[in-house]
Amino acid sequence: MRARDKAARRRMGLLGATLLLVSLAGSVEAQDAGLIGAAKQGDADAVQALLAGGLDPNLAQGDGMTALHMAALEGHADVVSVLLEAGAEVGATTRIGAYTPLHLASQAGHGAVVRALLEQGADATLATTNSETTPLHLAARVMDGEEAAAALLEHGAVVNAREGSVGQTPLMFAAAYNRTPTIQVLLKHGADPNLATRVVDVLRNVAIDREASRLLRDRIEGLRFQAEPGTEPELTPAQVQEAIAAQREFLRTDQSQRDFDSDDLIQYRADYPGGPPLARPPYRETLVGMTGGMTALLHAAREGHVEAGLALLDGGADIDQVSGDGTSPLLMTILNGQFDLAMELVERGADPDRAADTDGISPLFAVLQTHWAPKSN
């Protein structure tokens, strides 16, 4: 009897400890939410009171967002000041993308907050881990972001930094979004208007992708071949992951970066006699040829941003610099129906006879055929 009572008391003690832990965890979460919520609302007095009560200024949500992240995103300069004085970490990062408070303030165009963070040691050159964009990229594309951009440049931001996907610069971001004041700030600080994004050989990429797919299939078939005779070959998740890892390793090696012989590539053309029997011949890839090679002016031309285009030309942009497939800024405007900017380019001396490399379309031909012309990329 006494043994049963003792066991029951032990169970009750364990239950009580568990409830206490849950209560404490809930209390921490409530404190966390209270501080971050007050920072989001811009309630500097509430933030001050919570910090005075001993709350850690670096408490973070599950996604890594701290009170400083939230105040920076919302542009609450007074709350940012309170948090920094209390020891908030200026370089705290989110779990996805490693965004700092400076990234979020720049993205929202909060110039005063950007400057305050920089004066407390925030790194103006730090890139996110998902897209490799810097605070300057983010400031360049937002409306009224010129103050933030200027502050970043004054504190060491790299004016021609490239993001990770295709190598866009902050100037290209500003041009694509028609942020003329920011374009002028960037040019004043030495931005190169004639840098271009990475040129991609589309047909070569098709060949590489097919090699990688073949490698994956061969690896999986090889594993199935190793199964005991008479048994149904079932691959384990670990074996499938091993095959995928081998494919990814191939794509990272020099082998996947090699140059293809033109005779090898031409066999992938849909109209090539005796070419490989492909379920989906690369019609589009054959026609496109090269993509990328986009300058800031080409970005502005595609969107029809007259003010941005003129600011770039005033800043030294090459009016006839073509993209990877030979599309000039003038042709780009016409293909996309941006005739106001097209007229400005003509008046500035753009070559009216420069035709694209892939299909030979000239600006005049594009004007006459705009009802079916594809949107150029």
Q: What CATH number is attached to the domain comprising 170?
A: 1.25.40.20
**Pair (165, 272) in one structural domain:** no
pLDDT for res 253 = 74
The answer to whether position 2 is within a domain reads: no
**Pair (96, 210) in one structural domain:** no
Among 157, 172, 187, the domain-final residue is 157
pLDDT for res 4 = 58
Contact 191, 168 (CB under 8 A): no
pLDDT in tens, 173-197: 999 999 999 999 999 999 999 999 9
Contact 51, 82 (CB under 8 A): yes
The answer to whether position 1 is within a domain reads: no
Per-residue confidence at 125, pLDDT binned at 50, 70, 90? very high
Residue carrying the six token digits 């502050």: 151
Q: Which amino acid is at 108?
A: A
Cβ contacts of 164 within 8 Å, gap of 6 or more: 127, 131, 132, 133
Range of the domain at 21: 17-157
3-state SS record for 248-290: HHHHHCHHHHCCCCHHHHHCCCCCCCCCCCCCCCCHHHHHHCE
pLDDT in tens, 42-89: 999 999 999 999 999 999 999 999 999 999 999 999 999 999 999 999
**Region 366-376: what's the mean pLDDT?**
65
**Pair (275, 306) in one structural domain:** no
Per-residue confidence at 284, pLDDT binned at 50, 70, 90? low
pLDDT for res 30 = 46
Measured distance CA(108)–CA(128) in Å, rounded: 16
State yes or no: pLDDT of 10 exceeds 80: no
**Pair (91, 149) in one structural domain:** yes
State yes or no: pLDDT of 25 exceeds 80: no
Per-residue confidence at 21, pLDDT binned at 50, 70, 90? very low
Backbone angles phi, psi at 45, to 5 degrees: -65, -45
Measured distance CA(138)–CA(100) in Å, rounded: 12
Per-residue confidence at 255, pLDDT binned at 50, 70, 90? low
**Pair (315, 192) in one structural domain:** yes
Measured distance CA(223)–CA(281) in Å, rounded: 29
pLDDT in tens, 202-249: 777 777 777 788 888 888 887 777 666 666 667 778 888 888 888 788
Q: What angle do CA 90, 95, 96 make, to 5 degrees?
A: 115
Q: Which one is predicted more confidently, 16 or 303?
A: 303
**Pair (169, 111) in one structural domain:** no
Closest CA to 249 of 197, 305, 301, 211: 211
**Pair (318, 192) in one structural domain:** yes
The most distant pair of C-alpha atoms in the chain lies apart, rounded to whole Å, by 102
What does DSSP assign to residue 373?
P
**Pair (176, 228) in one structural domain:** no
Q: What angle do CA 173, 177, 178 make, to 5 degrees?
A: 110
What whole-number percentage of the chain has pLDDT above 90?
Answer: 58
Q: Which one is predicted more confidently, 251 or 298?
A: 298
Count of Cβ atoms closer than 10 Å to residue 240 Cβ: 14
**Pair (132, 26) in one structural domain:** yes
Q: Which two tokens stand for residue 186?
A: 């960037």
Domain count, the chain: 3
